């Protein structure tokens, strides 16, 4: 099997596919020869995006396990198999911890983390059963790799997505599975994430965040990120990095942790 076979002529599902990175991934997968189902909570943009890129559309709320199950049932009935799943739907909410409410945490974790957990628990067994070379891509963020003020809720969800993805990837590798997992860790991408409140249900409603929702940095085109995702699926990469210039920030966090270990070792040696 050539690496390209993991994308061309495959059946792919992309959550959060009506906008931004999900739409960029869906476009890149379609251009690479996959049949794509985009799934999203926002019905209007979902229908128009699907018509524009020639994808199927299914409404889903990834924070709701039954809704994700219904998405999987629909795709399986329609196509008979599922090869690629991109658990990408997500929301952003940056605010100092003192301004974050429990509703903020419930919303952000509900979509960003539970969305990925629902996606993994629902789709992974189907991909394992129906695909001979399946692949799953979970969208985390650079906010899953380093700490910064304003990120308590968002980074909590994204660190956890990195952890879930790394763990399952290792387990599948150890089991010799034909299915693999990548975790996408983008820096800034030019999307509608700063306007995430548009999709916030009343049950977890809160005040809109006061902090600037767009951190400084080089903003990439979502379609470019989609192309990196397609390349990573073909290559079987564990991590999909979009902003190599952000390595020093990750190194800085690791260095602080390493320094604490070194200090602990020194303290043990000191009588």
What are the residues binding ligand NAD (CB under 6 A)?
A: 15-16, 18-22, 40-42, 60-63, 88-92, 111-112, 139, 141, 186, 188-189, 191-193, 196, 199
In whole angstroms, the minimum distance from the beta carbon of 146 to ligand NAD comes to: 12
The question of whether 239 is a catalytic residue gets the answer: no
In whole angstroms, the minimum distance from the beta carbon of 91 to ligand NAD comes to: 5
CB closer to ligand NAD out of 19 and 30: 19
In whole angstroms, the minimum distance from the beta carbon of 252 to ligand NAD comes to: 19
CB closer to ligand NAD out of 94 and 172: 94
CB closer to ligand NAD out of 32 and 188: 188
In whole angstroms, the minimum distance from the beta carbon of 270 to ligand NAD comes to: 43
- CA–CA dist 89, 40 (Å, integer): 7
CB closer to ligand NAD out of 13 and 189: 189
Which residue(s) pair with 35 in the sheet?
11
Q: Which residues have CB under 8 Å from 29's CB, separation 6+?
A: 7, 12, 14, 36, 84, 226, 229, 230
Among the listed residues 107, 114, 135, 154, the single catalytic one is: 154
Question: Across the chain, where does the E strand assignment appear?
Answer: 11-15, 35-40, 56-59, 84-87, 135-139, 180-185, 239-241
Positions annotated as catalytic residues are 154
């Amino acid at each position: 099997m050539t690496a390209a076979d993991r994308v061309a002529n495959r059946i792919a599902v992309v959550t959060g596919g009506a906008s931004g990175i999900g739409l960029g991934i869906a476009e890149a997968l379609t251009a690479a020869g996959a049949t794509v189902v985009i799934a999203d909570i926002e019905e209007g943009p979902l229908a128009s995006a699907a018509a524009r890129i020639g994808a199927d559309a299914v409404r889903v709320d990834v924070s709701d396990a039954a809704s994700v199950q219904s998405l999987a049932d629909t795709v399986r009935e329609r196509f008979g198999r599922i090869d690629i799943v991109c658990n990408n739907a997500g929301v952003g909410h940056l605010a100092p911890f003192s301004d974050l409410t429990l509703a903020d945490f419930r919303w952000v974790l509900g979509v960003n983390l539970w969305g990925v957990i629902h996606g993994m628990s629902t789709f992974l067994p189907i991909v394992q059963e129906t695909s001979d070379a399946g692949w799953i891509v979970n969208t985390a963020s650079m906010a899953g790799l380093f700490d910064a003020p304003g990120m308590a809720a968002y980074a909590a969800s994204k660190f956890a997505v990195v952890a879930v993805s790394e763990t399952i990837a290792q387990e599948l590798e150890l089991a010799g599975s034909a299915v693999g997992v990548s975790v996408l860790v983008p820096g800034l991408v030019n999307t509608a994430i700063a306007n995430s409140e548009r999709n916030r249900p009343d049950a977890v409603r809160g005040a809109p965040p006061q902090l600037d929702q767009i951190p400084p940095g080089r903003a990439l085109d979502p379609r470019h990120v989609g192309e990196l995702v397609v390349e990573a699926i073909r290559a079987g990469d564990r991590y999909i990095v979009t902003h190599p210039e952000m390595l020093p920030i990750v190194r800085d966090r690791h260095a602080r942790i390493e320094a604490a270990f070194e200090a602990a070792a020194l303290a043990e040696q000191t009588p």
